[in-house]
Amino acid sequence: MTSIADRIAEPALAGKADAILREAAPAISIPAIGERELRLDLFRGLALWLIFIDHLPPNILTWFTIRNYGFSDATEIFIFISGYTAAFVYGRAMLQSGVVVATARILRRVWQIYVAHVFLFTIFLAEISYVATSFENPLYTEEMGIMDFLKQPDITIVQALLLRFRPVNMDVLPLYIVLMLFLPLILWLMKWRADVTLALSVALYAVTWQYDLYLTAYPNGFWAFNPFAWQLLFVFGAWCALGGAQRMSRILTSSVTLWICIVYLFASFCVTMTWYFPQLGHLLPRRVEQWMYPINKTDLDVLRFAHFLALAAITVRFLPKDWPGLKSPWLRPLILCGQHSLEIFCLGVFLAFAGHFVLAEVNGGAWMHFLVSISGILIMCAMAWLISWYKHSADKSASKSKSAGGNADMAGGGS
């Protein structure tokens, strides 16, 4: 975590850089260097916990995840905040060190995420190979057919390396990889005209819906998160980070916006309730139903996007940047998890595999489900704390030897 906070140590340098930035790039404004935006970390940490819980078999904790109370879920939060922090960090790098260096840094980051994805795939392979050889219940002969891909490692593994073969629960990182891969282009455009970039992104989203663009997957089907559609959230996050949020502040503080958001969130809550209590279903007018369904997650349905916007607007309004609670030790675990999102995300996916495995090997009772979820979250927190401690002490010793471009990847844990 060579983070924004650490950079305050060099205020003079940073200030100079900032001055240069303002002259060089009138199109976008990067918020002055301040303390790390803890709200982002907090909500990204929350998103990571929720994604972990959603990846486990349903249990009591599943009822606490936001997807049960509205259209959008933790994935939206994760992608938006990733866009925001990535633009914040690499946008600054692009203005300071130029397009080429910033691109190189971003590509290095993409490589890290790719390696993480392949590592998770290896763990997945190990787990299911074990299950395949140790489990021959005749009741499930058909379901075991899913292991058939093990018979063709030549194809499957190559397809996995090409990101086309993705097992269950391994869809977010490939999306993230593709989005990050296009980040240099996005930032470069933003540097030129931020609003035009956002408009282009909206246009691509519209074209995706109109002409049904998608990426195919192996052995069939397509990407569970369509990058052509989900880029909208990522670019929107980047746009907000590069001054858009400030320019929107008048809209965000207006009470009209607030009421629209509240009404929309309530409406979406009511609709979600009809999924869990079908007897309420008849209350929903048929015409609304026909217009609304299906609410498509693959292509980031407009209703989901709007739901996320409403949530975000209300959050920003009622949770000020300087809310003292952000410093409270109770929220510390969440914030720490959010600050090391790649590591914790991967750990979460791994723990979800491991959790399934424990439930399968030991016992699948409700209490065990609960225990697995809770211990998973505790492990994630402990790991986040450990990484943070390690980076902190590593940075300390590094600053003694004073490595110049030390902040090459301050987004290392951050984006």
Position among 135, 192, 370, 390 found at the interface with other proteins (CB under 8 A): 135
Nearest partner of 208 among 221, 194, 225, judged by Cα: 225
Q: 193 with 267: CB under 8 angstroms?
A: no
Window 224 to 263, contacts with other proteins (CB under 8 A):
none
Decide: is 126 part of the binding site for other proteins (CB under 8 A).
Answer: no
Window 264 to 283, contacts with other proteins (CB under 8 A):
278
Task: For residues 343 and 414, give the distance between their C-alpha atoms in angstroms, rounded to a whole number.
Answer: 10
CB of 209 to other proteins, least distance (A): 14
CB of 187 to other proteins, least distance (A): 33
CB of 202 to other proteins, least distance (A): 24
CB of 281 to other proteins, least distance (A): 8
Residues 6+ apart with CB under 8 A from 179: 79, 82, 83, 227, 230, 231, 234
Nearest partner of 180 among 112, 241, 98, 93, judged by Cα: 112
- In the complex with other proteins, which residue's Cβ is closer, 124 or 176? 124
Q: Vertex 211, ends 207 and 216: CA angle to 5°?
A: 105
Window 336 to 365, contacts with other proteins (CB under 8 A):
352-353, 356-357, 359-361, 363-365
Window 2 to 31, contacts with other proteins (CB under 8 A):
none
Decide: is 128 part of the binding site for other proteins (CB under 8 A).
Answer: yes
Decide: is 405 part of the binding site for other proteins (CB under 8 A).
Answer: no
Q: How many residues bind other proteins (CB under 8 A)?
A: 40
Q: Cβ of 130: how many Cβ atoms within 10 Å?
A: 12
- In the complex with other proteins, which residue's Cβ is closer, 118 or 408? 118
The DSSP call for residue 240 is I
Position among 11, 34, 153, 219 found at the interface with other proteins (CB under 8 A): 219
Residues 6+ apart with CB under 8 A from 180: 86, 106, 109, 110, 113
Site string for other proteins, 277-316 (x = CB under 8 A): -x---------------x----------------------
> What is the C-alpha R_g of the chain?
22
CB of 302 to other proteins, least distance (A): 17
What is Dmax (Cα atoms) for the chain?
A: 71
Q: Cβ of 298: how many Cβ atoms within 10 Å?
A: 16
Position among 9, 12, 256, 366 found at the interface with other proteins (CB under 8 A): 366
Site string for other proteins, 139-178 (x = CB under 8 A): xxxxxxxxx-------------------xxx---------
Q: Vertex 114, ends 124 and 175: CA angle to 5°?
A: 90
Angle of helix 74-97 relative to helix 227-239, nearest 10 degrees, comes to 60
- Chain contacts with other proteins (rule: CB under 8 A): 57, 124, 127-128, 131, 134-147, 167-169, 217, 219-222, 278, 294, 352-353, 356-357, 359-361, 363-366
